[in-house]
Copies of this chain bind each other. A is one copy, B any other.
Amino acid sequence: MPETLIKVDLTQSAYDNDMVHNRWHPDIPMVAMVKPGADFIIETYDWTGGFIKNNDSADDVRDIDLSIVHFLSGPIGVEGAEPGDLLVVDLLDIGAKAESQWGFNGFFSKNNGGGFLTEHFPQAQKSIWDFEGMFTKSRHIPGVRFPGLIHPGLIGCLPDPKLLSTWNEREIAFVNTDPNRVPALGTVPFGPTAHMGRLTGEAKDKAAAEGARTVPPREHGGNCDIKDLSRGSKIYFPVYVPGAGLSMGDLHFSQGDGEITFCGAIEMAGWVHLKVDLIKGGMAKYGIKNPIFKPSPITPKYDDYLIFEGISVDEWGKQHYLDVHVAYRQACLNAIEYLKKFGYSGAQAYSILGTAPVQGHISGVVDIPNACATLWIPTKIFDFDINPGADGPTKFIDGSVQMPLSPDL
């Protein structure tokens, strides 16, 4: 077996593990060095460091302090990596920790993070998903079962000081355009809950005060939440600092395009078996700004989909200009209404869209003023037939099982 370079103990606080960090900063020390061509294993906490529990209450989803996320394992240094290189990462395999064969999904309260459909689902809710080998199902959402498209929601290399400063300037200015918005427009550096890995003392305090939050995807990749960065894929990351400094976390057993439930996909603690290599000077050679990747040859594949359309007129009738976000929201709302006809609650339907390998396609972005987006639901994830027919839908789901909900206090 390849060496496990970073281990995590799920009974221990992530803050006590110095091979973990929850901010991006060039000064975070490498916790291990590897050679190009090496393969090794990295263990990770779930993104909340174990805050969300395997139980039937959504209180933890409601009460979480989101400034603590995401707990990443790393950074790993690669010998010979220099700024301008491409770090080639093969995700050889990914899995849940043996002692933790479950994951969670939920919606944050609108007052604590919100989410894509927070106007419609403003309160904290949660579902727990049990893993059965390569498959998962939830005791809170009957009638649906699917194989995992396992992937890290978050992976990327350390920024250099210039890139970090670009991020901070850009995002702080943006948040300041509406600083009291709920949910917030963005996340800004916040020292008190920062975990800076092996940095200590003043160096830590300085870096904690300016370290970029891990929430948004950025030029380096980071929290892209791309379900197709799945085990078996190959990713080409831009390198900004000597040694590259690769970190990762936020593992998902499965996720729908958009990660629309925000808390989040099917979130889990686990391990990543990966291999690293370098393309020297690859950023300039290939004109790379953001990571590029190749999908895995071994993924859950479906041929039969039911597809929902949405256009950029919002649910209150307002016209937006070629806005794909609004269009996708409509496609999602249309799908939720449809699934309710089979007996699901709106929250259950929303959760299915957030967890199952549904696809979100950008279908038209030029036909002014409406963008068109489509949501693709694989029909085979259901125990029953969800296709339309002349007789109308059957209520296969009787409503006796519901998702835990915790009202705001």
Contacts and interface: CB of A to CB of B under 8 A. Distances in A.
Counted per complex, copies of this chain come to 4
A90 to B, nearest CB: 8
A287 interface: yes
A334 B388 contact: no
A23 to B, nearest CB: 15
A33 interface: no
A302 interface: yes
Contact of A231 (B134, B304, B359, B368): B134
Interface residues of A, number: 126
A258 B364 contact: yes
Contact of A224 (B285, B318, B364): B364
Contacts of A376: 295
A109 to B, nearest CB: 14
A360 to B, nearest CB: 4
A218 to B, nearest CB: 6
A164 B53 CA distance: 51
Contacts of A273: 132-133
A92 B132 CA distance: 6
Interface in A261-294: 261-262, 264, 273, 275, 279-282, 285-294
A321 B326 CA distance: 12
A328 interface: yes
A369 interface: yes
Contacts of A311: 216-219, 290
A110 B295 CA distance: 36
Given A228-B307, A338-B286, A368-B216, A321 B260 contact: no
A367 to B, nearest CB: 5
5 contacts: A187-B368, A216-B368, A288-B334, A288-B338, A361-B362
